[in-house]
Chains A and B, each alone.
Chain A
Amino acid sequence: MPIPSSLVTLLVGMALVLSGLWVGYNVNLLPLDASANAPVYDSLFRVLFSIGTILFLGIVGLVVFSLIRFRRRSGDLTDGQAIEGNLLLELVWTAIPAIVVLFVGIYSYDIYERMGGMSSLNDHSAMHRMPALETMEASVTTADPAPEGMAPVKAPRVWGGIGTTAGEANVLPVEVTAMQFAFIFHYPEGDITSGELHVPNGRQVELRMKANDVIHAFWVPQFRLKQDVIPGQPTVLTFTPTKPGSYPIICAELCGPYHGGMRSTVVVHEPDAYDAWLQKNSPVAATVASAAGTPTA
C-alpha cells in the first residue's frame, strides 16, 4: 500500500526539525564562554543555528531530490507540466519566513537588551562618567602632532558600546588607548599602565576606550564582545568576566601593516590574585592622575 504523500511530508518535516534542533544544541562551534553575556549570546546562537540547519537541510534536500527524481530520462524530449504558480503556496512561503524573521528579530532584540546594548550612554544618566572621561582625554597625549579636534568640547559625547554600568557600585574602570599597533591599558585605581588587561573574576569592568590614530576594534572572542575604537569618539564598553584564564584581545579593524600582530591578552584573575597583581605593579610614589604623563608601552 503506498504511503500517502501528506504523511511522508509530515514525517520528513518532523525529522528535519528534530535534526535541526539536535544539531543546534549539540554541535558546538563557539569558543569558551568567559563573560556574563557570553551564555546569553550562545543561546541566541543555538536558536539561529537550529533554524538555519532546518532551512538549509530542507532546501538542499529539495534540490537534490528534484535533481534525482525529476531528471530528464534519455530520449524524453517533452516538457514538464505547465504550472505557472499557486497563490496559496506563495502566501505560505511568504508568511512563514516573515514570521520566522520577526520572531528572530524580537528574540535577538531581547538578547541585546539583556547584554545591555540598548542602554543609551548619551542621556543624563551617563553624565556621571563624564569627569572620568575628560581626565582620560587630558592624560593621554597623542603621538600625532595635530591637536585633538574635540578638545574644547565641554561635555564630550560618549558612544555606547555593549553593556551598562547603571546601578553597579563596584565597577573597575580601565582606560584603553588603541594605537598602531597596540592596546595600552591604564588603571586609574593605582595608576598602573600595562600592555595586558588584568581583571578580577566576577567584577564588572568598564573600558573607557579611545583611539589615537586610526580605527581599531577591541575584540575578545571568549567574551563575545567587539567594539570599534574610533578616533574622536570616546567609547565605553563594559563586561563581567566569569571564568579565570587568559584570553586573546584582537584588533578586528584593518589598521595598517601590522594589523594582524595587534594582539594582546586579557588575564582574568581570581580576586585575590588580582589584588596581588595590583599591589605588585602599583608605582611606589602614587601621583595624581593628571600628572600621569605619557603612557609607556
Chain B
Amino acid sequence: MTVASPNDFQESLQPQGWLRYFSFSLDHKVIGLQYLVTGFLFYFIGGALAGVIRAELTSPISDFVSRETYNEVLTLHGTVMIFLWIVPVVNGAFGNYLIPFYVGARDMAFPRLNAVAFWMIPPAGILLIGSYFITGAAQSGWTAYPPLSITTPALGQVVWIVSVLLLGGSSIFGGINFIATVLKLRRPGLKLMQLPMYCWAMLGTSILVVLSTPVLAGTLLLLSFDIVAHTGFFNPALGGNVVVYQHLFWFYSHPAVYIMVLPAFGLVSEILPIHARKPLFGYTTMVYSILAIVVLGLVVWAHHMFTSGTPPWMRLFFTIATSFIAVPTGIKFFNWLATLWGGKLALNSAMLFSCAFIVNFVFGGITGVALAQVPFDIHVHDTYFVVGHFHYIVYGGTVFVIFASVYHWYPKFTGRMLNEDLGRLHFLLTFIGFNLCFAPQHWLGLNGMPRRVAEYDPSFTTLNQISSVGALLMAVSSLPFLYNVIVSAFRGQVAGDNPWNALTPEWLTSSPPPVENWIGEAPLVQHPYGYGVDEDTLSVQAATGRDLWSGAGRR
C-alpha cells in the first residue's frame, strides 16, 4: 500500500516553517498541534461562558444576563466544551500526534482525510459562536430535547445542528483514520499486544465514534426536518414521539462520555509509567478492560432517561449494565495505583495532574455508580448533583489529563521544557478551584437545586457563591499556564530528545521530530513500558532504530 507522505508536497505550495500550522498540512504532527491549539482557544471561550453562568448564579435572582441569553450561554458552554474542546483534543490532538509514533508509522493512514477532519472544526466553531451574535444561539441545552428545540427560535437551533453535524463528521473521519492506522500501519514485527496503551484506548474510542456518531447525525437531521419542514418525527402535536429522540440522542451521547474519557485513560497510562519509573501494571487486563468499557458503553444510554417514563424492565437492565461499567473502570484504576506502588515518583506537574485525575475521577465514578441506581437517580436526575458528577468526570478526569499531557509532551512538541514551578502553581490553583467549584454542587442537587436554572431558592446562595469563587480560581489558574506555554516556547530550557528518559517511540527521535518522524528507520519498541529491567543497558539517547530493532539494547 502506498502512503501519501508530506514529502510529496515539498515542491508544491505547502508552506514551511510556522506558516504550515495555518495550512492544509498533511503532517500528522502539524495536524495534532492544530487540533491542540484550536481546542485550547475554544476551551477559553467555553470557560468564559462558564464564567457567565457562575456570575449569574452568585445571586438567586436572574440579574446578570437575560433569561434567554442565559439559556444560550449554557447551550453554547456545553456544546463548545464537548464538541470543540474535549473530543477534538483528547482524540484529534494527542491521537494524531502520538498514534503514528506508537505504531511506528510515518503518518496517519489517510493524511488528506486527516487534514479535512481538522479543517471542519474551525468553520463549525465559528458558525456556532457566530450564531450567538448573528441569529441568536440555540436555547435548548446541548441535549436539544424536542419539543423545546422545536419551539425555541429556529434559526439558532438549525445553525447549532449544522455545526454539530460538521463536528460529528470530523469526529467520524478521525475515528476511521485511527482504526486504519492502528490496525494497518503497524511497523512490521510490532504485535497488537505490544502497542502502547494509548493505541488501544484510541482503537476502542474510534470504534465507539464510528458506531454511535452516525446515529446522532441521523437524529439531528430528523430534528432539523421537524424544525424547518414541520415534519412530525419528534413533535407530539403531529403524532411524533419525544422519547424516541432521547433514546437516539443518548445512544450517541453516552458513548460520547467514553469518547472523552477513554483517550484520557490511555494518556495517563503513558504518563504514569514514565514518571513512576515502573512498567504499566497489568497490561493485558488494561487492554481487555478498555474493550469491556467499549462494549458496555454502548448499552447503558437509557440511564439518562430514568425519569422519562421508560418501562420498568428497561430501567432495571440499564441500572445493571451501568453499574457493571464500574468493574473494568475499577480494574484500570487499581492497575494505575499498582503502577505507582513501589516506583520512584517524580513529583512534577505531569505526575501531579495525573494523580489528581485519579482522585477526581474516582469521586465522579462513585457518584456515577450511585446515579446508575434508578431510585437514587429519580431524586437527583437533572439537578446540580448531576452537574457536579459529570464535571468531576470530564473536567476532573479528562481536562486534568489534558494538562498532564501538555506538561508531559510539551518538550517533544517544542523542544523546550515548561517551567515546573509555574506548572505546580497551575496544578495547585486548578485542583483547589475545581473542587471548590464542583464539590458543593452535589449537596445543592441533593437538597433541591435543579440544573440549567438562572434563579434558585435563596437558601442556596452561599454555596453557589463558594462554587463561583472556585470557578474564578480556575480562571485565574489558567494565567500561569498560558504564560508558561507561551514564554517557554521561546525561552524554556532546551529539552533534548528524551528529557524523561522514556521508552515509548515518540521519544526515540529528535524534539521536535522531523517530518516523517524519524531520520532513519522507525524503531521497533516491543516493550514500551520496560522500566527497571536489568537488560536496559543501552542508553536510549544513543540507541538508533537499528539497535532496538536488532535487540542490541533490550531483551
Which A residues contact B (CB, under 8 angstroms)? 29-31, 40-41, 44-45, 48, 51-52, 55-56, 59-60, 62-63, 66-67, 70-73, 76-86, 89-90, 93-94, 97-98, 101-102, 104-105, 108-109, 111-112, 115, 117-120, 122, 144, 146-150, 159-162, 213-215, 217, 219, 221, 224-228, 230-233, 235, 248, 250-261
Contacts and interface: CB of A to CB of B under 8 A. Distances in A.
Nearest to B385: A29
B532 A80 contact: yes
Contacts of A78: 277, 344, 532
A257 B68 contact: yes
Interface stretch (B22-30, B304-312, B467-475): B304-312
Nearest to A251: B450
A262 B86 CA distance: 33
Contacts of B414: none
Contacts of B152: 256
Contacts of B319: 105, 108-109
Contact of A85 (B282, B320, B363, B443): B282
12 contacts: A59-B359, A66-B345, A82-B530, A83-B342, A94-B330, A112-B316, A117-B315, A150-B236, A221-B448, A232-B240, A259-B452, A259-B454
Contact of A31 (B71, B378, B448): B448
Contact of A248 (B280, B376, B457): B457
A56 B396 CA distance: 15
B338 interface: yes
Interface stretch (B11-19, B140-148, B177-185): B140-148
A105 to B, nearest CB: 5
B366 A30 contact: no
Contacts of B501: 77
Contacts of A230: 236, 242-243, 308-309
Contact of A120 (B232, B312, B341, B378): B312
Given A82-B532, A93-B330, A215 B145 contact: yes
Contacts of A254: 71, 140-141, 145, 148, 451-452
B454 A260 contact: yes
Nearest to A84: B279
A213 B375 CA distance: 27
B521 interface: no
Given A225-B379, A259-B454, 19 more contacts: A48-B370, A48-B376, A55-B366, A59-B359, A70-B341, A78-B277, A80-B532, A83-B281, A90-B285, A108-B373, A109-B316, A109-B319, A214-B151, A215-B242, A217-B382, A219-B382, A235-B309, A252-B383, A257-B67
B522 to A, nearest CB: 24
Nearest to A95: B327
A29 B445 CA distance: 10
B324 interface: yes
A160 B237 contact: no
B239 A149 contact: yes
B323 interface: yes
Contacts of A51: 366
B465 interface: no
Contacts of A97: 326-327, 330-331
Contacts of A60: 359, 362
A224 B383 CA distance: 12
Contact of A70 (B70, B344, B375): B344
A186 to B, nearest CB: 21
B331 A81 contact: no
B450 A101 contact: no
A67 B345 contact: yes
B447 interface: yes
Interface string B421-457: 0000000000000000000001100111011111111
A235 B309 CA distance: 7
Nearest to B454: A260
B417 interface: no
A225 B151 CA distance: 28
A235 B307 CA distance: 11
A233 B457 CA distance: 30
B67 A70 contact: no
Nearest to A92: B334
Contact of A67 (B151, B307, B330, B355): B355
Contact of A160 (B67, B147, B309, B347): B309
Contacts of A93: 330-331, 334
B225 interface: no
A235 B454 CA distance: 28
A31 B447 contact: yes
A79 B147 CA distance: 59
B4 interface: no
B447 A104 contact: no
